[in-house]
Amino acid sequence: MATALARTKRSRSPMESEDMIAGWVFLAPAFIIFATFIFGPIFYSLWISFYERNSFGTINNFVGIDNYRQILDSPDFWNAFRNTAWFSLGVVPTQTAIGLVLAVLANRKIRGKSFFRTAFYFPSISSSVVISLIFLWIYQRNGLVDILFNGLNIPVPNPVWMQNPNGIIQMTLEQFGADSVPPWLRGPSIALMSIMLLNIWTTAGTMMVIFLAGLQDIPGDVYEAASLDGASRVRQFRDITVPLLRPVILFVVTLGTIGTFQVFDQIFVMTSDGGPARTTTTLVYLIYQEGFKFGEGPGYASALATILFGIIFVLFLVQRHFLGQTENR
C-alpha cells in the first residue's frame, strides 16, 4: 500500500520532497512494526529453512536444500497436503456458493433483512476457539448431530464423528465392494468433513458480506433492462449477477483458498494431535508438530512453511488466470 501511494503521488505532480518526507514519517511507525514482526520473521524463516536446527538453537548446521528434499520424500508431507487439498476443495466452492446465495437473498427487499445479515455474519465474528469447542459437543456421541440422525433414522457413524478416520469416498467405494482403497483416493475422513462443515458455517457469513458489497456496485438499471426483455430471476442471476461479480468472486475464492490452506486453530482445538489416524493433520498443523513437538525441528518446519507459501502462490496465479480476466473485457 505504501508503494502504491507513493507511485500515484509521483505520477501526479513533480515530487515535493517535503511532502515525501512527511509521508515517510507518518508511515514509519506502521512500517517499522510491519518490518520487524512480519517481514523480518518471514525472511528469517526462509533463512533457517536451509539449516538443520534443534528446538533450542544449540544445533545449527547449514544443509542447503536438504530439508526441502526430505519434505518431498516424506509421507507425512503428502498426507498433510492431501488433507489440506481435500479441505480446501470441499470448503472453498461451498462457502463461496453459500455466501453468494445468502448475499443475493439478503440484498432483496424482505422483512427482517438486517436480522438475517447479522445472523449469518455472526459466526464469523465469534471466537473460533469457542465455536470449535461448541462443535466438539455437537459432534459427540449422543450429541446434537447424533440426535438429529437418530430422529431421521439415519445410522450414525462408528467410531464417532470426530474420531472417525474413514474417508467418505473410501466408504462409498466400499459399498460397491472395493477392498483396499489407496490413501489418495479415500477422500476427506468423516472427522475432517466435520471440521469442514464447521469451517463453511463460520466463513460463509464473511463471504456474504463481501458479496453484498460487490452487489451494491451492480447498477440497478441493468436488471431493469433485463426484466423488460423478459429475463427470469434465475437467468438474471446467471447472466448478470455472476459475471459482473467476477472480480469479487476471484477475491472471495482467493481469500478462501488462503484461509483453508492455513487452517490450524480448529484442528488444534478439536482433534487430538491431528487425529484420528492423521486424517486431520493439515499442512500448518504439521508445521507446528515438526517445529514445536520435537519433530524435525524449526529448520524443517520453516522449509515446510516456505513450501506452503509456494503452494498458495501458485494456486492464486491459477485462480487469477481463470477468474480474473474481467478487466480485459
Partner 1 sequence: MVEDIRFHRLPRRTFVGMGVAGAAALALPVSLRNARAQDVTEVRLTQSPSSPAEQNVMTSLLATFMAQHPDIQVNYEPVTQQYNTKLQTDLAAGTAADVFTFGSLPSPDFIQGGVLAPLNDRMAAAGITTDQFYPGLIAAFQQGEELYGLPKDFSTLGMIYDPAIFATPTDTSTVIGGTPSASPAASPAASPAASPVAGEGLAVPTTWDELRTVATQLRDQTGQAPIVFGPSFDRYIAFLYQGGGSVISEDGTSIVIDTPEALAALDFYHGLYVDGLATTFTEVGAQWPGDAFAKGLASIVFEGPWLIGFMAENAPNKPYGIAEMPAGPAGKATMAFTEAYGLNAASDVQDAAFTLIAWLTGVEGMTQWSTGFGVLPSRPEVAAVYLEQFPEREPFLVGGEYARPWQLGSGGERFNTEANAELQALFAGQQDSATTLANMQARAEEIIRLG
What is the contact surface with partner 1 in residues (CB under 8 A)? Answer: 54-59, 133, 136, 140-143, 158-160, 162-166, 269, 272-278, 289-290, 292-295
Residue nearer to partner 1 on the CB measure, 23 or 295: 295
Give min distance, CB of 167 to partner 1, in A.
10
Residue nearer to partner 1 on the CB measure, 140 or 236: 140
Give min distance, CB of 180 to partner 1, in A.
9
Q: Decide if 49 contacts 66 (C-beta within 8 A).
A: no
Q: What is the DSSP letter of 177?
A: T
Q: Which residue has the cell 456458493?
A: 97
Residue nearer to partner 1 on the CB measure, 158 or 232: 158
Q: How far apart are CA 99 and CA 256, in angstroms?
A: 11
Of 24, 208, 38, nearest to 113 (Cα)? 208
Give min distance, CB of 158 to partner 1, in A.
7
Give min distance, CB of 153 to partner 1, in A.
20
Q: Decide if 268 contacts 286 (C-beta within 8 A).
A: no
Record the cell numbers describing residue 75, joined without a space. 509421507
Residue nearer to partner 1 on the CB measure, 7 or 141: 141
Q: How far apart are CA 235 and CA 231, in angstroms?
A: 6
Residue nearer to partner 1 on the CB measure, 123 or 165: 165
Give min distance, CB of 306 to partner 1, in A.
20
The pair phi, psi for residue 80, each rounded to 5°, is -65, -40
